[in-house]
Every structure is written in structure tokens, then in C-alpha cells.
Structure 1
């Protein structure tokens, strides 16, 4: 009887403790979710690092570039994505969708857009919502994927031949380009001739670990995943992956892993001495050879 009373008291005490903890947790939920919301907000701010205004080195839009707004649904409202369309002189030229990385808007991307145009491409480039003249405040992984898909529809209208359509993504834009390519390939019919990814990474958690502590389970903490390495395994179109060997921001080993994961026809182009931003310029000849070998293109000579 004594043992039974002691056990009962202990069980009752244990239950009271658990009930108190449950009530505290229940009352703390609004604060918890508010804190999580603030963390997600801060994570997105640090990831996209949107710089307002024009880049300091921007000296105006080249002749021939047409600026337009592309509508995109945002709940019950309609927002707009700002775009630049720079057609090639040849109306039968291949067309490429240019997807930029973090921080700089289109005014900071002109040198790479110019290079693709010099190769002979017609180029459609966009600012995701929250960048440049596009609507919206702070981008997210979900919204940049949506913006890329809307831009792809616009490119398809300008270049109806799938064999003359390409996707290009730089840095964070590479992960967005891979998502778009995997989305298009899942639709069944071939919608693009190829994918070009430059200076990009495997997952956001991987690049964060490389800059902090490798053992931290960041993949469980980060709300923005950008899981490019799993998605590129679903890409069937030919893939050209480019990376500078002297990239101080995103090591070239990430592109090597992307290359290993890509299942179809592919080529890895490591540009000796290339940094995060100049591989297309200093590796222009290698780019041209890769276009010919992988895609059967004959880019305009320098």
C-alpha cells in the first residue's frame, strides 16, 4: 500500500511537471513562430543581399535592348518582373534565358549579357521580384523559381524552336536554372537545347557549411534549400558546367559535384585563373569550343 501511494504521488508529480511544460510550450507557440518568421526573413535578406539602384559600373543600356514587364501571379494579385530582351542580328539565332545571382540587379550583369550576345545569342534577362525595377520586396526560393518559369514562357514566345532555346544561370542563378531545367524535363517534351551553369553550388547548406562549421546540420535549419545537386540528377538535356579555378566565393569542387550528378550529355569546363565573375570573359575561347562540342553551335568568332 505504501509503495502504491509513493508511486502514485510520483506519477502525479511527473504528470504535473509535464502539464506545466506543455502549457508553457503552448503559450510560447506564437512567440516561437514569430521568432521563426524573423529568422526566415533574416535568412532571405542575407541570401539575396539585394542592392538597390544601378550598379556603379553601369553606363547605360546598349542599343537594341528592349525593356518589358512580364506579369506573374502573386496570390490574388498580379506583380511584374522586369526583363531585357536583346535580339541577335540573325533572326534564326539561338536564344538564352539569363538568370543572375544574388546582390546585383540587371544593371550589374550587363558585361555577361553582352558576352552571351557577342557569342551570337539573343538574350532574355530578368530581375527577380525584389530586384531592380521588378515588383515585390524580398525574394524567396519559391518566388525566384516562379519568376524563372514566367520568363521561360516569354522566351518560348520569342524563340518557338526548342532546339534553339537555352538556359544560363550564374552563381545562385545556376541553382535557379537547374530547377527550371528539371521542371521542363519533367513535363515530358523537350523544351530546351541545353543548360549552362557557371560558378554555382550543390546546395545552399553545402556552401554555408564551407563558410562556417562543416558538422552543423544546416540542411535542417535553413528554410531556403536550393538543392541543385538532387535536381540536376533529373535533368536530361545536355549540360555545360563552368567554374573558375580561382573562385574565392564558391570553390570549383561544387561544380565538379554537379557535373558528377548530371546524368546526360555533359561537359565540365574549369577555367584556369577564373574567378567568380570573369570566367566567361577569360575563358571565351573555351566557351566557344564547348558550345560547338556539346550543343553543335558555331558561336560568332571574337
Structure 2
């Protein structure tokens, strides 16, 4: 597993980083490449669905390469209108991201959320290839469940989860996988792994010279801006805040411009990954789900 020092770079804009910390981060990154920039997991359980009066089931999935993934299945209250597959951001685990989707069962939607390898109760250590594999493992499990038969399936990804979900959805559509996705929602998502890594590295003078060589350690097939058009004709909703201090607003704009129709853009005004504290933004997402 990559060191905690290297993972600090995703949060550097908000940190008063000492010269020594930056120097150590630069050394670690020069040895390990950029993959560790995207993952900041922990194994603490912050909250469980029952604390929010939500029914749930623990789900454990085996990956083809021998890891065990943990997830939560949250059934809709009453008759289900569909299922939302939720891919969370880069920090902590599903228990700290639960509030982002805890409101959806009351609106009639099942929720399935997983932790990538190395997060929460999932085994292993995270990297880009592994997390992409894990996101597909979760969707394949979901596609086989009786509760999702003959009902819409949507993908909701936030931040890193949006980048993973974008890649997954583009491949799912291009391979004509079944069941078909009915809609994809990307909230606070960066336009490419290489691009955001280069931005973060260029923010500090000591890591500035490393931005090009280290970003090139990331395979170029994972750039969302090159893949998002392949999700069409599945509807895409891109959400991005003008006040996002982690993933700048221009990333959402770039993804929207690169996407093919049908597409929607929801400009918000909240901190990063805090979209659903505002009722109007929840309603906009519900309208997208109902219309897709």
C-alpha cells in the first residue's frame, strides 16, 4: 500500500505543508508514481445505515484476482422505482459517504454501494486498475439480482467514484452489456486522472518539475474526457460546484462539453461532495432519474 505521505497531495491546497513534508512527498512519488494520489482509505466505521433508520444488508463479493469487497444493499422504502449504484470518493470508506445517498430509499430507490479494495472492510490495497475492476465487479453483481430485474439501473459517482464510474459506464455501453444503464450521474468528477494529477503536482514549487514525468506513469486509457462520449445514448448528468476547492469547476465544464447528447449540467454552489445538503439539488437529481 502506498504511504500516507504521498496521499496528502490531493489535499495540499488546504494544508500548510512544511518544506520537509513536500520534499518527502516528492521522493515517495518519484519512487511510486501517481496512483497513490487518488486513494486515501481508512477502515473506521463512521456510521451504519441502521443509525439512520435504514434497512440494509452487508454484501461481500469476491473479485477475479482474489480480493473480497464489502458493500451495502439498501432497499427502497415501498415499491422500488429503480436502483442507484453508488461509487464514493477517494477518502475514508462507504460509511463516511453514506449521507450522500441515504435520502434516496425514501424516494423509492434501492441503493448499492461498495468499498474499493483497501477501503473499509474490503481486502487488499487500492490502485487505479484494482478500483476499476472493483467497480465492475459490483455492477455485475447488481445486474444479477432479482430486485433489479425489469427496473431502471443508474450509476452515481462522486469525485473519484465519478471517474471510475465514467470509465465503467463507457465500457458497459460499448460492449452492449445487459442490463442497460438508464442514466449516469457524475458529481464533482475530474476530467482525467493524468490531468488532475498534473494540476496537483504543479501547485507546489518542489513538485512542479515532477508533474510531467509522474503524470505519465498513469495509463492514458483512463482519461474521462476521452471516454464520456461513449456513454451516449445513455443520459448523463454532470454536477459541479463553482465552489469546489478540491476538483476545480473547469473539470465539470470540460466533461459536459465532451459528452454527447442526451446530457444535462447542474451547476451547484456547495463544497466538494456536499451537493445533497441542498433540497433543490436533490430534486434536480430526482427529475433526472424519473426522466431517464
Tell me the TM-score normalized by structure 1.
0.76
Are the equivalent residues in 1 in contact too, given 2:88–2:160 (CA < 8 A)?
yes
Aligned length: 254
Are the equivalent residues in 2 in contact too, given 1:88–1:120 (CA < 8 A)?
yes
Q: Could you list the per-position Cα deviations for residues 93-149 of structure 1 after superposition, in whole angstroms to 9, with x for gaps in the alignment? A: 21011001112101111111213334431100000111110111x211111111111
Question: 1:118, 1:274 → 2: CA distance?
Answer: 23
Question: 2:250, 2:103 → 1: CA distance?
Answer: 25
- Specify which of 131, 138, 145 is matched with residue 132 of structure 2: 145
Equivalent residue number for residue 104 of structure 1: 92
Equivalent residue number for residue 193 of structure 1: 182
Question: 2:230, 2:288 → 1: CA distance?
Answer: 22
Choose between structure 1 and 2 for higher RCO, CA contacts under 8 A separated by at least 6 residues. 2
Are the equivalent residues in 1 in contact too, given 2:85–2:113 (CA < 8 A)?
yes
- Specify which of 99, 111, 136 is matched with residue 123 of structure 1: 111
- Larger Rg computed on CA atoms: 1
Deviation at 1:252, TM superposition (A): 1.3
- Specify which of 62, 67, 70 is matched with residue 61 of structure 2: 70
Equivalent residue number for residue 284 of structure 2: 289
CA RMSD in angstroms, aligned pairs only: 2.6
Spell out the pairing of 1:82-97 with structure 2 (5 A cutoff). Answer: 82-97=70-85
Unaligned runs of 5+ in 1: 1-35, 298-302
Question: 1:60, 1:189 → 2: CA distance?
Answer: 31
- Specify which of 247, 252, 257 is matched with residue 254 of structure 2: 257
Tell me the TM-score normalized by structure 2.
0.78
Are the equivalent residues in 2 in contact too, given 1:166–1:194 (CA < 8 A)?
yes
Unaligned runs of 5+ in 2: 1-26
Spell out the pairing of 1:1-302 with structure 2 (5 A cutoff). Answer: 39=30, 41=32, 43-55=34-46, 58=47, 61-62=50-51, 63-74=54-65, 78-136=66-124, 138-158=125-145, 159-161=147-149, 164-188=152-176, 191-213=180-202, 216-217=211-212, 221-223=216-218, 226-236=222-232, 237-271=234-268, 273-282=269-278, 284-292=279-287, 295-296=290-291
Secondary structure at the counterpart of residue 123 of structure 1: strand
Question: 2:103, 2:217 → 1: CA distance?
Answer: 34
Deviation at 1:219, TM superposition (A): 7.3
Mean alpha-carbon deviation: is it higher for 83-92 or for 172-181? Answer: 83-92
Secondary structure at the counterpart of residue 230 of structure 2: coil
Are the equivalent residues in 1 in contact too, given 2:235–2:261 (CA < 8 A)?
yes
Equivalent residue number for residue 26 of structure 1: none
Are the equivalent residues in 2 in contact too, given 1:235–1:264 (CA < 8 A)?
no
